[in-house]
Amino acid sequence: CSVRPAGGASGPAAPVPAGADAGSGGSGGAAGDGVAYCVPPSGGAAGGVRRRSRRRCRGGPGSATETTSGRTVPEGHTIHRLAREHNRLLVGHAVHASSPQGRFVEGAARIDGRVLEKTEAYGKHLFHRYGDVFLHVHLGLYGKFTVGALPAPEPRGALRLRLLADGHWIDLRGPTACELMEPPEVDAVRDRLGPDPLRRDARPDLAFDRLSRSRVAIGALLMDQSVIAGIGNVYRAEILFRHRVEPHRPGRDLPRETWDALWADLVLLMRAGVRAGRIVTTLPADRPRGRLTRDKAHYVYRRAGLPCRICGTEVRTEVMVGRNLFWCPTCQR
């Protein structure tokens, strides 16, 4: 990938293996530091990301997308992290399912006692496979999972679904979707989604084909789940900044080489997000020293009115497709 240095022109692309894992010593990253990058805005290796506890399923700071109402929607890396956790705790075991709230009683009864065969994430959608039936969950604005070791606490509040297996409990509250699906219905959900950067079967060419035929702003297209699955507001703002792309540029004006670099960077950043449980896009050289707090983790996201970390220009914000967009008008021309 290549990222334009502050105040300069784009440099030659530095190759990044499409399947490179974040923190594995890929292009620009230091092994074991938790985040790998393409050529960064001001050079240097990434670092300073700590792994977070797996007890919370909404992820750590910066793991969700902010709406104009101030609420947050978990981004794709959070759902993939959940799929991994549920796989570790439940797959291969008979699961006791119940719906203390009462809104999913019939669905819980159908999977109660069945063995969970597989967990899978696609974009912001989570699937559990129980033989010929799938549990489909979309957290939306209010949904969250909580996890713990048995004995489970007394059910409280709007507890949509409780799963018990192998000494652990998983509770689900407030999801946009919690439903059972047959295989054709699961296929229909997947078919309407764009490629997911966190899936090894992703086909980025499909996303570029959509982008290259559209007059819609790239900042809006990145939020369209039929173009790319799993991207939310944080990744949108940060990936466009890292590659110096003006968010109002029509998708069809994005060069193929820029798209290839952007996609490779998304893969690395989102894989790092899965492992760390948070989104970190800044390099140590571009942020204040000390503990890596939320306000130091991003270049432009939620930094409206503050100076750009690279050039000092005031970061701007506006609403685009119902989300607060952030960008630097100097770096992203």
Residues 163-215 have pLDDT tens digits of: 999 999 999 999 999 999 999 999 999 999 999 999 999 999 999 999 999 99
| 210 within some domain | yes
User: Catalytic: which of 40, 75, 236, 244?
Assistant: 75
117 annotated active-site: no
Catalytic residue among 40, 74, 197, 247: 74
In this structure, the answer to whether residues 224 and 331 fall within a common structural domain is yes
Domain boundary among 166, 191, 216: 191
207 shares its domain with 330: yes
Q: Is residue 161 located within the same domain as residue 216?
A: no
Task: Give the range of the structural domain holding residue 266, as residue numbers without chain letter.
Answer: 1-49+194-333
Q: What is the CATH number of the domain that holds 210?
A: 1.10.8.50
Residues 40 and 84 in one domain: no
The answer to whether position 305 is within a domain reads: yes
Report the number of distinct structural domains present in the chain.
2
Cβ density class 35-57: b for 16+ within 10 Å, e for less? bbbbbbbeeebbbbbeebeeeeb
Q: Are 43 and 161 contained in the same domain?
A: no
DSSP 333: -
Active-site option among 4, 81, 114, 124: 124
Same domain, 237 and 311: yes
* Residue-level pLDDT at 285: 81
The whole-angstrom separation of Cα 207 and Cα 77 is: 18
Read off the pLDDT band of 294 (50, 70, 90). Answer: confident
* 323 noted as active-site residue: yes
Number of neighbouring beta carbons within 10 Å of residue 326: 28
**For this structure, is 114 an active site residue?**
no
Q: Which of 191, 212, 230 is the endpoint of a domain?
A: 191
Tens-digit pLDDT profile for residues 121-148 = 999 999 999 999 999 999 998 999 999 9
Q: Which of 236, 275, 287, 323 is catalytic?
A: 323
The pLDDT assigned to 139 comes to 97
What are the residue ranges of helices labelled H in 31-121?
Answer: 76-90, 105-111
Average pLDDT over residues 302-316: 96
Q: Which two tokens stand for residue 99?
A: 């719906």
Domain end, chosen from 134, 167, 191, is at 191
- The reply to whether 318 and 200 lie within a common domain is yes
For residues 83 and 185, state if they share a domain: yes
- Alpha-carbon span 253 to 127, nearest angstrom: 36
Confidence of residue 286 (pLDDT cuts 50, 70, 90): confident
Assess whether 198 and 187 both reside in one domain: no
CATH number of the domain bearing residue 167: 3.20.190.10
Peptide bond just before 284 cis, omega within 30 deg: no
| Residue 179: active-site member | no
